[in-house]
Structure 1
Amino acid sequence: MKILITSGGTTEKIDSVRGITNHSTGNLGKLIAETFLAQGHEVTLVTTKQAVKPASQPNLNLHEISNVESLLTTMEGLVKTHDVLIHSMAVSDYTPVYMTDIDELEKTEQISDLLSKSNSENKISSQADYQVLFLKKTPKIISLVKEWNPAIRLIGFKLLVDVPKEELFRVARASLQKNQADYILANDLTEISPTQHHAYLLSEDDSFEAFDKEGIAQLIYEKVVTHD
């Protein structure tokens, strides 16, 4: 099988030296990739420069992206040519539009006037005590996958923070249905540490539990190869 995996976390630039990112290391995506590679599958890993990666090997193809725009461009063609997508990347929900200081904001009659601007300098001045950063929503890559390739098997990920199990399941299954996924890996940040990663792999009707990253990788592998 041709397996497409995303891992790591995107970074959205504010200027040439600043950006908005997240804490994703790519460790789980790396383990998932290594699990499939060990069984002879062809793996394409879309990841970031900062993320950890498997060692180079013949069946591994690497694509490095930086932000949501580059991810979108890279993913469309790859999704069309793969059998399975395991979308574990932490994708930025918003991207910067314009950053300004309080004085400019107070002088502006319509906020919409600022939203049509963009910062032209390479490095925005840090003289002001307070800055206001305007963000706009990025495209949801997972929502486009089945448009690009209706036949691809899709495993998505949903991370929430400190919610009851019932709420985690409800939100994850809503994502599964909305994005026509086969499975969603549901996890809570409070149950992730250097020594554990408690998660549930959910389908429409079933749930399967894992307690560390190795267990998650093996669980995903088993469900993909058995088509269960």
Structure 2
Amino acid sequence: MLQGKKILIGVTGSIAAYKIISLTRLLIKEGAEVKIVMTKAATKFVSPLVLSTLSKNKVLINLFEKDVWANHVMLGRWADLMLIAPLSCNTLAKMANGQCDNLLLSVYLSATCKVMCAPAMDEDMWHHAATRKNIEALTGYGNIVLGVDSGELASGLSGEGRMLEPENILLEIKNSFRTNELTGETVLITSGSTHEAIDPVRFIANHSTGKMGTALAEAFYLRGADVIFISGPAQHFPAYKNIEIIKVTSAEDMFIQAVQQFPNCSIAVLSAAVADYTPVETASQKIKKKEEQFTLSLKKTKDILKELGSLKSNQLLVGFALETNNELDNARKKLADKNADLIVLNSMNEQGAGFGFDTNKVTVLDKNGNQYESGLMSKQDVADYILEIVEEKLKQNA
């Protein structure tokens, strides 16, 4: 999402400036190019040398330095996004009133890109009527002004005014670059595992963490789609608040929700690791350890992919297949038997792929006999790879 994006960070005088160290690292890791402008006050809170080293670009502070003029106009035109973080109460007031007494403000007033601000100040300052008025002015100019967190403040008090954490600012930055390729599409994603109760304290489950489903949901969302995310118990969930999350527990719960939501969707991607069997009976009390052997009777769960395949009209249906042997043959059979449009094959025999890993390797099969190999890559990149194939199928079906 941020690969090759040019991010210009303006740092002002606030104790929260230390968070820019982590944010810069996160942006570089995402593939963004980062340049940083600081006010003189900001240098008292965080070292320009540290930020220069991390961003791999010289940090600019002064409009004039050794008879050389910092071209604020070109810097403001260079960026795809200017982020002012932390935004102090003082700089906020200056921006709201068009003042221009330092390099950061000169760049801001020259910027032709989107401008995002992450305020940081004490709670009383945050709630002051003048601050409210200045924020209204900034948003009126078309700037994106983020909210604040609540917690311990530099004053020793506790309340609203803390700058958002770097991870949350990164999400807001990504959200600002959301595209429109899939605008108008509603995507149903199933994710995580299911828990099949044996008694009130025990259940049958698998090792799914929800990483792949979450990566898919976020990738679809960042391309403009509306996303409905149905998840069983999992460690990972989408971070974007506009993604609708429906939490379920059992295979039966997931079946009911998937069938209910499917008619409202144009695309369905069933990446959840749903239990194939569930206990015939669930004990109402904890089963005591008495006998040397214990037999548990199981019955098949309802097949969500097959059911949606029988219900679909013009939806694009994508299933997942996790195999340990005869991978391709089993995946092709699943593709045909379930009336799916695509099957994403995961092999447990691939090192670095499968449950729990940050990486994955998939083979995508379609009804025309085509076979697409992703290679081993991050699950975010695998999600993008799957999306490219989905988008191509949508164009073919249009």
Give the alignment's TM-score, normalised by structure 1: 0.84
Measure how far apart 1:195 and its partner are: 5.3
Residue pair 1:4, 1:43 contacting (<8 A) in 2 also: yes
d(CA) in 2 for partners of 1:224, 1:2? 13
| Corresponding letter in the other structure for 1:200 | T
Alpha-carbon offset, residue 224 of structure 1: 1.7
| Equivalent in the alignment of 1:87 | 270
Which segment is superposed worse, 146-155 or 73-82?
Answer: 146-155
SS of the equivalent of 1:181 reads: coil
Cross-structure match for 1:140: 303
Q: Which amino acid in 1 is paired with 2:372?
A: F
1:16-27 aligned within 5 A? 16-27=200-211
Rounded to whole Å, the distance in 1 between the matches of 2:358 and 2:228 is 27
Q: Which residue of 1 aligns with 2:43?
A: none
Do the aligned partners of residues 30 and 192 (structure 1) sit closer, same or farther apart at CA in structure 2, a change above 3 Å counting?
farther
CA-CA distance at 1:139 after TM superposition: 1.2
Aligned to 1:50: 234
SS state at 2:381 partner: helix
Counterpart Cα distance in 2 of 1:86 and 1:124 = 37
Match of 1:207 in 2: 371
Q: Compare 172-181 and 122-131 and name the one that shifted more.
A: 122-131
Deviation of 1:49 (Å): 3.6
Give the whole-Å Cα distance in 1 for the aligned partners of 2:259 and 2:270: 13
Counterpart of 2:327? 168
Partner SS state of residue 302, structure 2: coil
Instruction: Give the strand-richer structure, 1 or 2.
Output: 1
Deviations 1:137-170 (A, max 9, x none): 1111111003333221111011111x3xxx3211
Unaligned 5+ residue runs, structure 1?
A: 99-117
What letter is aligned with 1:188? S
1:14-163 aligned within 5 A: 14-58=198-242, 60-98=243-281, 119=283, 121-161=284-324, 163=325
Could you list the per-position Cα deviations for residues 2-59 of structure 1 after superposition, in whole angstroms to 9, with x for gaps in the alignment?
011001011100000000000000100000111111112111100024341011422x
The one-letter amino acid paired with 2:381 is G
Pairing 1:188-199 to 2, within 5 Å after superposition? 188-193=347-352, 194=357, 196-199=359-362
Q: Following TM superposition, by how much is the alpha carbon of 1:92 offset from its aligned partner in structure 2, in angstroms?
A: 0.4
SS in 2 for 1:50: coil
Larger Cα-atom Rg: 2
Q: Which residue of 2 aligns with 1:105?
A: none
Partner of 2:383: 217
Whether the 8 Å contact between 2:343 and 2:364 is mirrored in structure 1 is yes
Show structure 2 runs of 5+ residues with no match: 1-184
Larger mean CA deviation between 35-44 and 191-200 belongs to: 191-200
Per the TM alignment, residue 226 of structure 1 is displaced from its structure 2 partner at its CA by: 2.5
Q: If the length of structure 2 is used for normalisation, what is the TM-score?
A: 0.49
| Deviation (angstroms), 1:191 | 1.1
Equivalent position of 1:111 in the other structure: none
The match for 2:52 is: none
- SS of aligned partner of 2:333: helix
The answer to whether residue 392 in structure 2 is matched with residue 226 in structure 1 is yes
What does residue 189 of structure 2 align with? Answer: 5
Structure showing the higher helix proportion among its residues? 2
SS in 2 for 1:190: coil
- 1:65-118, CA deviations, whole angstroms, 9 ceiling, x for partnerless residues? 1001111211111111100000000010100124xxxxxxxxxxxxxxxxxxx6
Q: CA RMSD in A?
A: 1.6
Identity of aligned residues (%): 30
Distance 2:292 2:190 in 1: 38
- CA–CA separation in structure 1 for the residues paired with 2:190 and 2:358: 23
